[in-house]
Structure 1
Amino acid sequence: MKKFTINSINRISFLLLFFVAGALSSCKEEDPTAPAEAKAAPVIEAVRSMNPAKADSTFTQSTLGSTIVIKGQNLENTRTITFNGYNASFNTAYASDNYVIVRIPELTPTVATAANVPNKLVVGNSKGEAVYDFTVLPPVPLIEAMSNEFVKAGQTLTLYGKYFYFVKDVTFPGGVKGTNVTASPDGLSLTVTVPSGVDPSKGDVVVTSESGRSVANARTRLYSVGMVGNFDDKNPFGWGINPATNITNTAPGITALDGKFALISMALPGGYGWSNDKVINLADYNGAQIFPTQPANMYNAEDPIANFEARMEVAVTNTASLNGLQLQVMTQEATDKELTANVNLKDFVRSTDGKWYTVAVPLANLANGSTKLAKYGDLLKGNKKGEKHYRAVIVNTNAADVPATIAIDNMRIVNTVAR
C-alpha cells in the first residue's frame, strides 16, 4: 500500500480546492441571471412612448404608471433605473444596446408628494451612470368639490381636490374656458374666473393639466335642475323662519346669489336645542309634488336613493367659529317617521366672510333608527297624507349658544349619477 506524506496530502488538497474554485467560477459566469459586465457607461439620448402612434416623438415628461422606451447607447447590461431616486423594476429581456423599456412606478416621488423632487431619470450599469432631465407628472387632476355650484360669469369659483399641478386650463359646460386660473402650491385647490357663455346643462367642469383631463364625478356639475325652493319663483314654503322678515335679499356681510334667500340670524341654542327660527321647512300641504320628477332620466322613481343628494348654497357671517354647527336635512316617509341626516358645516363652508358655498347631504344617510329610503320613489311618496317635506335645520352641537348669521338658497335634489 502506498503511503501518503503530509506534503503529498497538502498538494492533493490544494489541487481539489483549485478545481472546486474553478468549477464555482465557471458556474457564476454561466448564471443567466447575473448582470453582465458592460463595455461602457450608459448614454441616454431620448425618451419615447410605447404608443406606436407616438413612437417618433421624444419627450421629457410622463405620468405615473406610464411605460416608456429609453433610447441611447450601452443599455443592454443596464443594472438600475431610477426616477427621482426611486428604483424601477424592468425586464432585462427588453433591454438592447440602444433601447430599454421600463414602467414608471406608481410610488415615484412627484411634486404632489415631495416639493423638491430632482426630476431626474438615472440609468446605471457596471461602468457608470447616465443622468437625464425627466419630469414625472402626478396623476390627472381630481375635483372633489366646487365652492359654489350656482356661480355666475365674472365670479370666482374655487375647486377643491388633488393634483392641481401644471394646469393648462379650466373648461366650463358649453366648452368655454375660464380665466385667471391659479392653483395653490400644494395642488389641493384652484381658483378660476367664470367666463360668459356657460351652459350648466351641457356637461361638467374639467381641469386639464400636463397629466391629462379631470374625470366627471358627482362634484363636477354646476346647478341646472332639481330645484325644490329658491325663495323667488319656486317657493313651497311650509313653516319655520318668519317669511315676512327672514326671506330676504339682503343681510349684513352677505350678497344675494340671485334674488331672495332664507336667513337664519340668531343665537343658535346649544346642546341641540330647538327653535323654529333656525328651521326652513318646504312643503305643499295640498299634496302637490315638490320634489323634481323631470328630466325623467335624472329623476327615475326606481333609481336607488344612493344616487341622490340634497344640496343648497350656504353663506355664514357674524360667528366666531363653525365648530359644532351642522346642517340637518329632514323628510317624512310613508309612515310619518321623520328621517334625518346631518353634515358638519365646516366640511363645506370654508370661511365665515359671507361667501357662498355648496353643501351636499347624501339622501342615503336619511334615517330614523333602521328606517331608510330605498329608492327615489320613496321620497316622492311623502307621508301618510301624501305631503312632501324638505327641511333644513341648523343644529348647534356645542353646549353653549352660538350667535351666527346664516343664509340658505337653492334647496334642491341632485342626481349625482345620471349625466
Structure 2
Amino acid sequence: MKKFTINSINRISFLLLLFVAGALFSCEEEDPTAPAEAKAAPVIEAVRSMDPTKADSTFKQSTLGSIIVIKGRNLEDTRFITFNGYNASFNTAYASENYVIVRIPELTPTVATATNVSNKLVVSNSKGEAVYDFTVLPPAPIIEAMSNEAAKAGDVLTLYGKYFYFVKDVTFPGGVKATNVTASADGTTLTVTVPAGVTPAQGSVIVTSESGKSAANARTQLYSTLGLISNFDNKSFFGWGIPGENIVTSAPGINGLDGKFGTVQMAVPGNGGWANARVMHFADYGAGSQILPTTPAANYNANDPIANFEVRMEVAAANTNLNGIQVQVMIPAADGKEYDAKVDLKNFVRSTDGKWYTVAVPLANLANGSTKYSKYSDALASKQIRVAAFNTNAADVPVTLGFDNIRIINTTK
C-alpha cells in the first residue's frame, strides 16, 4: 500500500484549493441575471389583453402604454422584445414557457411619429426570434379647435388637433354620424360634412378611432347661442363704429352665415391707428343694462377667474392680406381705462376666400399696460365691449372682413 507523507497531503490540498478558487472565479465572471440557454427559438401564437374579462380574445393591435400578454412557446428564456424595432423592458419573472407579459413603451414609433413603421412585434432568445404582425396605435384623437363652430348641415367642417389616425367615425351633438370623413396624412386635420339633425346644445363633436374617443372640451362644442352678445339679427346691441350700411347679408366675396353680419371694409390705418369704421361697439345705452352674459349662473359666475373666459366670433376674409392684421377685443374698466387683447387673424382664418372661421380671444390677455383683470366681475363692471380690426403694419392695409356671433364662452364648462 502506498503511503502519503505530510508533504504529499499538503500538495493535494493546495491543488484542491486552486480548483475551488478557479471554480468560484468562473462563477463570478458569469452574469447571474442572464437568461439560461434556450432550448429552442420562440414562437408567437397570439396576443391578448391582461384584462381577465377579455382573456379569451386575441388582437393584432394595441395603443401605446398598453400591457399585453404574448402567448406562444419557448418564451421562458426570452431575452429581448421589440415593437417596431423599439426595445421594451420586461420582468423575466413574468415569462414562462407559454406566456410573457410586457408593456408597450410610450416611445414606440407609430404612424404619428414615423413615416414608416414595420408594424412588427419581435421576441428573441439565444436560439432565434419570432416575428408577429402587430400594429402599435397612437393615442386617442385630440380635438384642439374647429374651423367654424357655427357650421350647419351640409357644410364642410375642419377639425384641428392631433392623432386623427385610423378614424372610424365622427359623431355630432344629438348622436348623428358625420359623412365624408377625411383625415390628413399627418393626423392633424380632419374634414367632415356636417350631417342633418344636429342639435348643437346637446353635446360635443367626438372623433372615434381604433385608439379610442376624443374628449369633449370647450373647443368641441358647436355654436348654440350660449353667451351671445350680438348676431346682428335678433340680438344686437350695436352702438357705434362701422357705418350702419356695413351691417349686411353679403359683402364682396362673403356670404352671410345666417342673416346679417358686420363688416369692416376699408384701409385699416397702420401702427394701430384709430378709425371708427374698423370698430364695432356693443352697449345698451338706453336701458344701461348688462350686455355681457350672466346666465346660466354656472357658466357666468362673477367670481370666476377671468382666465376661464374667451370671446369667440366667426370671421370671414375676402381678398385680404392678413399678415399683421389682428382682431382686437376691448372691455373698458368701470373707470374708463381701456383693457384690450389681440390675436393674429391668420392663426384662425386659414383662407381669404370668404369662408367663415371661429376666432377665439382669451380674456386672460385683457390688459391696460401691465395691469390685467383677475375675475369675470372686472369685465362685467364695464357693461360694454368693442371688437375691432387692428393693423400692426406700418402702412395702411385694405381689408374686407365679416364678423358674426360675438359671444363669451366659459372654456371650463
- Residue of structure 2 in register with 1:306 after alignment: 307
Q: Tell me the distance in 2 between the aligned counterparts of 1:135 and 1:13.
A: 62
Q: Tell me, yes or no, if structure 1 residue 241 matches structure 2 residue 242.
A: yes
- Residue of structure 1 in register with 2:3 after alignment: none
- Residue of structure 1 in register with 2:340 after alignment: 340
Q: Any residues of structure 2 matched to 1:119-198 within 5 Å, and which?
A: 119-198=119-198
Q: Tell me the distance in 1 between the aligned counterparts of 2:32 and 2:114.
A: 38
Q: Tell me the distance in 1 between the aligned counterparts of 2:322 and 2:19.
A: 82
- Indicate conservation of the 8 Å contact 1:318/1:403, yes or no: no
Q: Tell me, yes or no, if structure 1 residue 397 matches structure 2 residue 405.
A: no
Q: Which amino acid aligns with 1:233?
A: N
- 1:20: Cα distance to partner? 4.0
- 1:17: Cα distance to partner? 6.8
The 1:99–1:14 alpha-carbon spacing in structure 2 relative to 1, beyond 3 Å, is same
Q: Any residues of structure 2 matched to 1:79-158 within 5 Å, and which?
A: 79-158=79-158
Deviation per CA, 1:128-157: give whole Å up to 9, x if none.
Answer: 110000000000000011000000011111
Q: Tell me the distance in 1 between the aligned counterparts of 2:391 and 2:282.
A: 21
- 1:77: Cα distance to partner? 0.8
- Residue of structure 2 in register with 1:385 after alignment: none
- Indicate conservation of the 8 Å contact 1:28/1:34, yes or no: no
- 1:18: Cα distance to partner? 5.7
Does the residue aligned with 1:302 lie in a helix, a strand or coil? coil
- 1:377: Cα distance to partner? 2.3
TM-score normalized by the length of structure 2 = 0.94
- Indicate conservation of the 8 Å contact 1:140/1:209, yes or no: yes
Does the residue aligned with 1:97 lie in a helix, a strand or coil? coil
Q: Tell me the distance in 1 between the aligned counterparts of 2:72 and 2:44.
A: 4
Does the residue aligned with 1:414 lie in a helix, a strand or coil? strand
* Percent of paired sites with the same residue: 71
Does the residue aligned with 1:100 lie in a helix, a strand or coil? strand
Does the residue aligned with 1:89 lie in a helix, a strand or coil? coil
- 1:19: Cα distance to partner? 4.8
Does the residue aligned with 2:218 lie in a helix, a strand or coil? coil
Worse overlay, 396-405 or 248-257: 396-405
Q: Tell me, yes or no, if structure 1 residue 294 matches structure 2 residue 289.
A: no
Q: Which amino acid aligns with 2:408?
A: I
Q: Tell me the distance in 2 between the aligned counterparts of 1:347 and 1:15.
A: 83
Q: Gaps spanning 5+ residues in structure 1: where?
A: 383-387
Q: Tell me the distance in 2 between the aligned counterparts of 1:74 and 1:381.
A: 74
The 1:21–1:399 alpha-carbon spacing in structure 2 relative to 1, beyond 3 Å, is farther
Q: Tell me, yes or no, if structure 1 residue 417 matches structure 2 residue 412.
A: yes
Deviation per CA, 1:331-366: give whole Å up to 9, x if none.
Answer: 012222111001111111111111100000111111
**RMSD, aligned CA:** 2.1
- Residue of structure 1 in register with 2:402 after alignment: 407
Q: Any residues of structure 2 matched to 1:242-321 within 5 Å, and which?
A: 242-243=243-244, 245-286=245-286, 287-319=288-320, 321=321
- Residue of structure 2 in register with 1:350 after alignment: 350
Deviation per CA, 1:178-209: give whole Å up to 9, x if none.
Answer: 10000011100000011111111111110000
- Residue of structure 2 in register with 1:45 after alignment: 45
- 1:296: Cα distance to partner? 2.0
Q: Which amino acid aligns with 2:57?
A: S
Q: Which amino acid aligns with 1:290?
A: I
Does the residue aligned with 1:22 lie in a helix, a strand or coil? helix
Q: Tell me the distance in 1 between the aligned counterparts of 2:405 and 2:319.
A: 22
- 1:12: Cα distance to partner? 11
- 1:108: Cα distance to partner? 0.4
Q: Tell me the distance in 2 between the aligned counterparts of 1:17 and 1:135.
A: 56
Does the residue aligned with 2:264 lie in a helix, a strand or coil? strand
Q: Tell me the distance in 2 between the aligned counterparts of 1:96 and 1:275.
A: 78
Worse overlay, 215-224 or 31-40: 31-40
Q: Tell me the distance in 1 between the aligned counterparts of 2:220 and 2:356.
A: 17
Deviation per CA, 1:143-176: give whole Å up to 9, x if none.
Answer: 0110000000111110000000000011111111
Q: Which amino acid aligns with 1:208?
A: T
Q: Tell me the distance in 2 between the aligned counterparts of 1:28 and 1:260.
A: 85
Q: Tell me the distance in 2 between the aligned counterparts of 1:360 and 1:206.
A: 20
Deviation per CA, 1:214-260: give whole Å up to 9, x if none.
Answer: 011221111111100111111101111001x1000111211110000
- 1:14: Cα distance to partner? 9.5
Q: Tell me the distance in 2 between the aligned counterparts of 1:200 and 1:293.
A: 20
- Residue of structure 1 in register with 2:69 after alignment: 69
Does the residue aligned with 1:354 lie in a helix, a strand or coil? strand
The 1:218–1:17 alpha-carbon spacing in structure 2 relative to 1, beyond 3 Å, is farther
- Indicate conservation of the 8 Å contact 1:69/1:102, yes or no: yes
Worse overlay, 390-399 or 38-47: 390-399
Does the residue aligned with 2:202 lie in a helix, a strand or coil? coil
The 1:265–1:13 alpha-carbon spacing in structure 2 relative to 1, beyond 3 Å, is farther
